[in-house]
Amino acid sequence: MKHTDNQTKNRREGRAALVTPARASLVYTLSSLVGKSSSVFTLPLFTRILSPEELGLYTLYMSVLGLCSVTLSVWYSGNATYKGIISFKAREWEYISSSFGLYIVFSLLTLLGLFLFRFALGISLAFVFLIYLQLLLDGAVGLYLTSLRSRYEYRLSTVLTLMLALLPPLVSIILIRVFSFGIYGRIFGLLSVSLAVGIPIIILLLGRSPKIYDRELWRFSLSHALPLLPQGISSALSHECDKLVISASLGAAALAKYSVAHSLGGSLSFLTVGAGYALSPWIMRKLASNDTGRASRVSVLLLRIMGAATVFLVALSPELMRLLAPRGYSVATVAVLPIALSVIPSFFSSNASSAIVHRGRSGAVTLSSLTGAAVNVLLSFLLIPILSYLGAGLALLFSLSASAFLTAVIMKREEIPELIPRKALAVTLAFSGALSGVALLLYNYAAARIMLLIPPALTALSALLSLKELVLERKDAKLA
């Protein structure tokens, strides 16, 4: 009887060990998507209560903050930090506090860089110190959230993530409408919530372990995080370079208009992020069991769905732009096409990186990311002064396509199975690009644009039905 009870207990513990990570992963994914989408949903409010110049300055502030934040994030999130928490499990809080100390050092170096290059970036001295304060708080919060997620404490992690995503817009609206703070109302809305969350976390971290310098822990963090720094820098440049160049060459008002088009075109990245969260663990398991066939079929079908979604977004972009912002912003609608299309090579690269990392060639992922960033910077400086908003979108599309092409070349050279064949990528890009281009030419003919949605609708429906068949096949195989 005792033996049976022990077996039952072991089964329950085993199920819990599987259910808790799965549930946590789902909650993290949903909270992340809600947080990322909140900026798009609140955009129509801020485009109407802030002038284009004010919104442009805020976009510049967030671009510089994003450039620094993504680069510094290697010190408080990701695989390097998780590995440190696992390796020093008995000294977890010591490791987190020492990581915060190391983060402070690199954030001070960032402050120095911002101060020296503030004129080149087009930001004021006030912006420099506000950005530094935000970075300092983000580092503490990021380390604490990473610690929570490593222990699957997803409830508190989700509450904090949603607070940091949903409260700043509400506070900003009050500061702008009631107290007439203008652009600083938008900035202080973000900073005030970060202060309310970050200061208690800093007190908690230092209360658990006041030692922010430990030679052994710093050496470990440096050895694992520094190799990731080039990828962090390349990712930051890829995301922010176009905005910085537009601000410098066309001004704040033009940047505001481009930022709305970028938010609309980039909204499809939520699909990429969601698919990445859901697919990466499954693909890694399939690669481990040498079952690349099913993983490839699912990946190709998802690529087709994203291609169809791109055409839908571009075809409806004139109406969506007028929904997101006043009519004067519509001049940037032309940028939606290349930005939306860039999601396709981005998904290819994200999908392929799972196979490359599985083969132990993570350095190849860094190489393709750096190449894409270099192409983005070069094309941004070349195309934006000539083609304005369209040039910025094309720089992003071509850079991500170059990164995807290099990734495909590396996979062929290393004899790594292609989850998405290059032919499928090329066909999807050509199909979606051609229909999206025609849709943009029919800008003033809404009825014709709607008729143009029939082919991508049929493509998406066919892909969804095929995905359903794959799911049914898997169920039948389990029953057999």
Residue 43 half-sphere exposure toward CB, CA atoms < 13 A = 27
The answer to whether residue 116 scores a pLDDT higher than 80 is yes
The pLDDT tens digits for 324-368 are 999 999 999 999 999 999 989 988 887 787 677 666 676 777 788
The answer to whether residue 11 scores a pLDDT higher than 50 is no
Q: Residues near 439 by Cβ (< 8 Å), separated by ≥ 6?
A: 311, 314, 315, 317, 449, 452
% of the chain beyond a pLDDT of 70: 85
Q: DSSP assignment of 289-347, as one string?
A: TT-HHHHHHHHHHHHHHHHHHHHHHHHTHHHHHHHHS-GGGGGGGGGHHHHHHTHHHHH
The pLDDT tens digits for 393-430 are 999 999 999 999 998 888 888 878 778 888 899 999 99
Per-residue pLDDT band at 477 (split at 50, 70, 90): low
The answer to whether residue 35 scores a pLDDT higher than 90 is no
Give the dihedral sign, CA 282/285/287/291: negative
Per-residue pLDDT band at 301 (split at 50, 70, 90): confident
The pLDDT tens digits for 217-235 are 999 989 888 877 887 888 7
pLDDT at residue 85 in the model: 86
pLDDT at residue 231 in the model: 76
- pLDDT averaged over every residue in the chain: 86
pLDDT at residue 17 in the model: 42
Per-residue pLDDT band at 322 (split at 50, 70, 90): very high
The pLDDT tens digits for 248-286 are 999 999 999 999 999 999 888 776 665 655 555 566 666
Per-residue pLDDT band at 9 (split at 50, 70, 90): very low
Q: Which residue has the tokens 């006041």?
A: 210
Of 467 and 52, which is predicted with more confidence? 52
Per-residue pLDDT band at 307 (split at 50, 70, 90): very high
The Cα 325–Cα 44 span in angstroms is 5
Angle subtended by helix axes 422-441 and 292-315, to nearest 10: 10
Of 235 and 121, which is predicted with more confidence? 121
Per-residue pLDDT band at 455 (split at 50, 70, 90): very high
pLDDT at residue 288 in the model: 66
- Region of poorest pLDDT, from 39-43, 347-351, 431-435, 474-478: 474-478
Of 221 and 188, which is predicted with more confidence? 188
Per-residue pLDDT averaged across 119-130, rounded? 96
Q: DSSP assignment of 348-364, as one string?
A: HHHHHHHHHHHTT-HHH
Phi-psi region of 421 (alpha: psi -120 to 50; beta: other; left: phi over 0): beta
Per-residue pLDDT averaged across 143-154, rounded? 84
The answer to whether residue 470 scores a pLDDT higher than 60 is yes
The answer to whether residue 446 scores a pLDDT higher than 90 is yes
Q: Kindly state the DSSP code that residue 420 receives in the 8-state scheme.
A: S
The alpha-helical segments, DSSP class H, found in 178-251 are 183-208, 215-225, 229-250
The pLDDT tens digits for 190-214 are 999 999 999 999 999 999 999 899 9
